[in-house]
Amino acid sequence: MAKILVTGAAGFIGSHTTDLLIAGGHTVLGVDNLRTGRRSNLERALRSPSFRLTEADVSEPGVMAALVSEFRPGAVIHLAALVSVQESISDPALNQRLNVTATQFVADAAAAQGTKRIVFASSAAIYGDTTDLPIAEESAAQPISPYGEAKLASEQLLLARSEAAGFTVRCHRYFNVFGPRQDPASPYSGVISIFDRRYRDGKPVTIFGDGRQTRDFISVHDVARANVVAATVPNITTGTANICTGQATSLLDIVSVFAAYYPKVAGPRFAPARAGDIIHSLGRPDRARSELNFEAKVSVADALGELIRSG
Ligand code: UD2
């Protein structure tokens, strides 16, 4: 069993990753500044003797260095981030600090303490608005937001350091992750979290465009498993891989699942497509399969059902 440090442990993906690590018998130190993460996401983890949460900001100098030297993890799963593309546009300096400088501190601390592995939360946002689908990792990285730029810069920084520092790096390019604990607060939150909230409140959802746009929606449980595999399975080599299902699902498909659960809620309203919205996004999952032996297992329908039934 391993000691794993999870940054952003109180966040959506971080809390599920933490839960899965604990269930696998690992010891976890979580760190989170609780800016967008919530302590309540860790309700179950906080009851475990194998878990401790430190409230701190990993983008501040010295924080990662102190935590890594004290805890001496075998791996760091670096998920702490500014997660909103919109916010990266309105506050690029904050994006730089939370999405690049913090990664630099993670790499420095791991190098100094001989940490063996770093798993990094990258994003399909680094591909920009490519229409060459499905997107493989060889596709040109052409981010169109400060968020995507920062994720790409972090990948490059970690990969460039890996050999000299002696750590293995796994960069996970997540596609559209969804599931329990995803925050629906902003209009730019993940569409499924927004739809879930609206149906729970008995209110109709708004579809921007005709609803035929598709995304590669992946369950947060699969994403958490990809993180755990990358951090704990022996003999994994440095690299970058899409974390996706390879299946396209339209918004109309999503709405029809919700509608079946909520027959009394009025049907969707349609509004003009959002400016800059891409119509289709789909990843190729092959590299994660060959390099990590990881394959998404949960179907969108099953994961949606679980989300809808969750408390
Ligand atoms: C955005 C982000 C991505 C990630 C993701 C959240 C960019 C370039 N990418 O991608 O990084 O944060 O969101 O999972 O910004 N929609 C509706 N009704 C709503 C809300 C959304 O129809 O109430 C549509 C939206 O116009 C889009 C689709 O649903 O066509 C998916 O939207 P999204 O914001 O969940 O995800 P995406 O892939 O546009």
Q: What does the pLDDT read at residue 194?
A: 98
Measure the CA–CA gap between 216 and 276, rounded to whole angstroms: 18
Q: What does the pLDDT read at residue 218?
A: 98
Q: Which residues sit opposite 215 in a β-bridge?
A: 249
Q: What does the pLDDT read at residue 187?
A: 85
Q: Which residues sit opposite 283 in a β-bridge?
A: 135
CATH code of the domain occupying 3-178+218-244+282-297:
3.40.50.720
Determine the average pLDDT of the residues in 129-138. 95
Looking at the predicted structure, is the pLDDT value of residue 200 above 90? yes
Q: Which residues contact 309 (CB under 8 A, 6 or more apart)?
A: none
Which residues' Cβ are closer than 6 Å to ligand 1? 85, 123, 125, 145, 176, 188, 190-191, 194, 206-209, 213, 215, 251, 274, 277, 281
Which one, of 3, 52, 14, lies nearest residue 183 by Cα? Answer: 14
> How many other β-carbons are positioned within 10 Å of the β-carbon of residue 203?
12
Identify the residue whose tokens are 């996970």: 172
Atom of ligand 1 nearest to the CA of 281: 38
Q: How many residues does the chain have?
A: 311
Q: Are 158 and 171 in contact (CB under 8 A)?
A: yes
Helix or strand (DSSP H, E) at 294? none
What is the β-pairing status of strands 168-174 and 269-271?
A: unpaired
Identify the residue whose tokens are 């659960």: 261
CA separation, residue 88 to residues 2, 92, 100, 256, 307 (Å): 34, 5, 12, 33, 28
User: What's 100's DSSP letter?
Assistant: I
Looking at the predicted structure, is the pLDDT value of residue 246 above 80? yes
The two structure tokens encoding residue 200: 């729970």
Atom of ligand 1 nearest to the CA of 125: 11
Q: Are 217 and 268 in contact (CB under 8 A)?
A: no
Determine the average pLDDT of the residues in 164-173. 98
Q: How confident is the model at residue 197 (pLDDT cuts 50, 70, 90)?
A: very high
Q: Are 36 and 78 in contact (CB under 8 A)?
A: no
3-state class (DSSP) for residue 40: helix
Q: Which amino acid is at 28?
A: V
3-state class (DSSP) for residue 218: strand
Q: Where are the alpha helices (DSSP H) in the chain?
A: 12-23, 63-71, 85-90, 92-96, 102-113, 146-165, 191-200, 220-232, 251-261, 286-292, 300-309
Q: Are 242 and 284 in contact (CB under 8 A)?
A: yes
Looking at the predicted structure, is the pLDDT value of residue 276 above 90? no
**Mean pLDDT estimate for the chain:** 97
The two structure tokens encoding residue 308: 């809808």
Distance 135 CA to ligand 1 centre (A): 17
Ligand 1 site-directed mutation target among 12, 123, 174, 191, most atoms within 8 Å of CB: 191
> How many other β-carbons are positioned within 10 Å of the β-carbon of residue 163?
10
Q: How confident is the model at residue 188 (pLDDT cuts 50, 70, 90)?
A: confident
3-state class (DSSP) for residue 283: strand
Q: How confident is the model at residue 289 (pLDDT cuts 50, 70, 90)?
A: very high
